[in-house]
């Protein structure tokens, strides 16, 4: 046809046209009973709704149809109002914002068609200040926008896990032990964290006898930190060494029923400090040893309580002959009457 406008056509339940189409965009009659879905075109609002059948809605006609209500609108432009917003990333390194986080009370003279944000989803790559645009549009097609600064914060601490405490014996002949351990495990909601050692020794180092505390700290790109510690204990399980001289046999000192005897006992340990040596039996070097055999016993102890002992004999023999003094020659006369 050669006519322009909005036409209504009734159909029966089978889909066949019921009567002819009717031009309805020139009428002011409101055929609509229920709330409609608002559509806009320029400054006109067109409301559409399915009609009810068999008069159930009280609308004109017994068939399904489309009903129209038109109106002319004179709207002032809407006003977009924004506010800055600060938000933290979640444990997965993501965060989503809504219009309500940015909208500072935007207004519209006519019905609001939409309020949207240019960006709503953020992740670790967005940490810092991001600019978003809020746009408000009314049903007449008028719009306004504003910008806001969204500050994205990563305030989630990284996690760190240290190995369990380690206890080992010293390496043979050493006052230490070479100890290796697994590096602490780390994780963060924003990958890229760094690990540093604050105290202790690196894996594979020679740990001294005793306990060394190893402390590690993990730091993420936002300077959030977490720390853990574990102990490496090296026990001195090695006995010290001691060497006694061979048995000593001497003769008595001249004119003495004894002899002064000197000797040396030596000792050593893998840990040179904290040890001591004691004599458990016998006489000290340089003492006057009596005739006979005397057993000398020594014990050396290290700082860890490990001990070692040795013994040797000192025998003093009497090698000096006894002395005798006879009187001078004697000349005597016989007694009277005796031969």
> Does position 62 have pLDDT exceeding 50, yes or no?
no
How far apart (Å, rounded) are the C-alpha atoms in residues 159 and 71? 62
CB atoms within 10 A of CB 144: 17
pLDDT tens across 185-220, in order?
A: 999 999 999 999 999 999 999 999 999 999 999 999
pLDDT tens across 318-336, in order?
A: 999 998 999 999 998 888 8
- Identify each DSSP E strand in 83-158 by its residue range: 85-88, 94-96, 112-117, 121-123, 128-138, 143-153
CB atoms within 10 A of CB 159: 14
Q: Write down the H helix ranges in 167-261.
A: none
Average pLDDT for residues 134-154, to the nearest whole number? 95
> Does position 107 have pLDDT exceeding 90, yes or no?
yes
List the Cα angle 193/195/201 in 5-degree steps: 175
- Decide which of 136 and 70 is more confident: 136
In the chain the domains, ranked by start, together with CATH numbers, are: 1-72 (no CATH), 85-153 (2.60.40), 159-235 (2.60.40.10), 241-317 (2.60.40.10)
Sign of torsion over alpha carbons 115, 116, 122, 128 = negative
CA-based Rg of the chain, rounded to a whole angstrom? 55
> Does position 41 have pLDDT exceeding 50, yes or no?
no
How far apart (Å, rounded) are the C-alpha atoms in residues 293 and 127? 89
Q: Annotate 16-72 with DSSP letters as a single string.
A: -B-S--EE-TT-------S--EEEEETTEEEEEEEPPSTTTT--SSSSB-EEEEEEE
Q: What is the pLDDT of residue 119?
A: 98
Strands 166-169, 225-235: pairing is parallel
């Amino acid at each position: 046809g050669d006519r322009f406008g909005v036409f209504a056509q009734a159909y029966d339940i089978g889909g066949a046209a019921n009567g002819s189409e009717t031009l309805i965009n020139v009428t002011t009659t409101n055929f609509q009973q229920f709330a409609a879905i608002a559509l806009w075109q320029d400054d006109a609002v067109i409301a559409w709704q399915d009609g009810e059948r068999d008069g159930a809605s009280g609308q004109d006609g017994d068939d399904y149809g489309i009903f129209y209500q038109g109106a002319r609108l004179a709207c002032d432009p809407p006003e977009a109002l924004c506010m800055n917003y600060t938000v933290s990333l979640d444990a997965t390194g993501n965060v989503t914002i809504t219009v309500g986080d940015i909208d500072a009370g935007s207004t519209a003279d006519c019905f609001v068609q939409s309020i949207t944000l240019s960006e709503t989803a953020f992740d670790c790559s967005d940490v810092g200040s991001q600019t978003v645009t809020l746009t408000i549009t009314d049903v007449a097609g008028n719009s306004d926008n504003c910008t806001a600064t969204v500050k994205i914060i990563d305030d989630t601490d990284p996690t760190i896990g240290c190995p369990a405490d380690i206890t080992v014996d010293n390496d043979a002949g050493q006052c230490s032990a070479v100890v290796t351990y697994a590096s602490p495990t780390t994780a963060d909601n924003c990958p890229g964290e760094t690990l540093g050692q604050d105290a202790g020794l690196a894996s594979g180092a020679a740990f001294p006898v005793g306990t060394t505390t190893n402390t590690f700290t993990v730091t993420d790109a936002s300077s959030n930190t977490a720390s853990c510690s574990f102990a490496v204990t090296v026990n001195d399980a090695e006995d010290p060494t001691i060497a006694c001289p061979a048995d000593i046999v001497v003769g008595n000192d001249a004119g003495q029923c004894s002899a002064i005897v000197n000797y040396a006992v030596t000792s050593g340990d893998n840990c040179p400090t904290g040890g001591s040596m004691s004599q458990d039996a016998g006489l000290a070097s340089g003492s006057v040893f009596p005739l006979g055999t005397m057993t000398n016993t020594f014990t050396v102890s290290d700082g860890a309580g490990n001990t070692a002992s040795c013994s040797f004999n000192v025998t003093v023999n009497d090698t000096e002959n006894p002395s005798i003094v006879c009187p001078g020659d004697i000349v005597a006369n016989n007694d009277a009457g005796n031969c």
